[in-house]
Amino acid sequence: MAAPRSLEEMNFMTDKAREIDDTGDYFTWIACNDKEVEETWECDGQEGREPFLEWDLASGQPDSISAQSESGSCHSRLTLECSCPSKWQLREKECYILTPSPHTWNQAKSACHGMGGKMAAPRSLEEMNFMADMARKVDSDYYAWISCNDKEVEGTWVCDGQDGSEPFLKWADGQPDDKGNHQDCGQIAARYRDKMDDVGCDNMHPRWTVCVRQAACTYGLIQPRH
């Protein structure tokens, strides 16, 4: 059984756990325990130095790793706490903001960079709905640029900021239609029931742009209450 020897290693473990269970409420045994002497923590596999322990008294955080003795009497949780710059909205480990346009797609992309982020593209239906909710709150008939485009090769869509080889694309009915043979940039819009549409990259109609940046996150462990 492993015990993290550094914050990097602990972060690595939490990332692994989250890959397997991304419900935000996973629990993983680690080898730390104070079974011998109460309040004297020992961690198997940490090679005889002072144990690495990163405790945090905060509670109720969404992401947790727990360390429990066999009896279940000791219980601690690894927590993740993230924050965003003012006006940015936190979702998981990222921050989102809606910038007002009108801007062409290229200008909108630069605007995101200028704010320390990048133009966003949803990687899941949940993330797309989150973006749509943000936009609906400020504009019930919103149109918002996303980074998906087929500028390079007509019909081959690429989305900056998505990992993996296959882009996540969720088109509105009848889209993408490359109307007028010049629609190469992606938007989501209330009018398209929060799904994607292709639109001309110089079109000024999208009045918003979704930008995203990494949140500042710190990890800690909740000390068990006895």
Interface contacts to Ca ion, rule CB under 5 A: 150, 154, 175, 177-179, 183-184, 197-198
Nearer to Ca ion, 51 or 200 (CB): 200
Q: In this structure, are residues 209 and 59 in contact, taking their beta carbons and an 8 Å threshold?
A: no
Nearer to Ca ion, 2 or 158 (CB): 158
Nearer to Ca ion, 78 or 132 (CB): 132
Q: In this structure, are residues 42 and 32 in contact, taking their beta carbons and an 8 Å threshold?
A: yes
- CA atoms within 13 A of residue 207's CA, in its CB half-sphere: 11
Q: In this structure, are residues 26 and 65 in contact, taking their beta carbons and an 8 Å threshold?
A: yes
Shortest approach of Ca ion to residue 22 CB, angstroms? Answer: 32
Q: How far apart are CA 104 and CA 34, in angstroms?
A: 60
Q: How far apart are CA 32 and CA 147, in angstroms?
A: 44
Q: In this structure, are residues 187 and 109 in contact, taking their beta carbons and an 8 Å threshold?
A: no
Shortest approach of Ca ion to residue 120 CB, angstroms? Answer: 19
Q: In this structure, are residues 42 and 51 in contact, taking their beta carbons and an 8 Å threshold?
A: yes
* CA-closest candidate to residue 212, choices 137, 108, 139, 141: 108
Nearer to Ca ion, 96 or 143 (CB): 143
Shortest approach of Ca ion to residue 169 CB, angstroms? Answer: 12
Nearer to Ca ion, 72 or 180 (CB): 180
Nearer to Ca ion, 97 or 196 (CB): 196
Q: In this structure, are residues 149 and 184 in contact, taking their beta carbons and an 8 Å threshold?
A: yes
Shortest approach of Ca ion to residue 211 CB, angstroms? Answer: 22
* CA-closest candidate to residue 42, choices 7, 1, 14: 1
Q: How far apart are CA 145 and CA 189, in angstroms?
A: 9
Shortest approach of Ca ion to residue 150 CB, angstroms? Answer: 4
Shortest approach of Ca ion to residue 189 CB, angstroms? Answer: 10
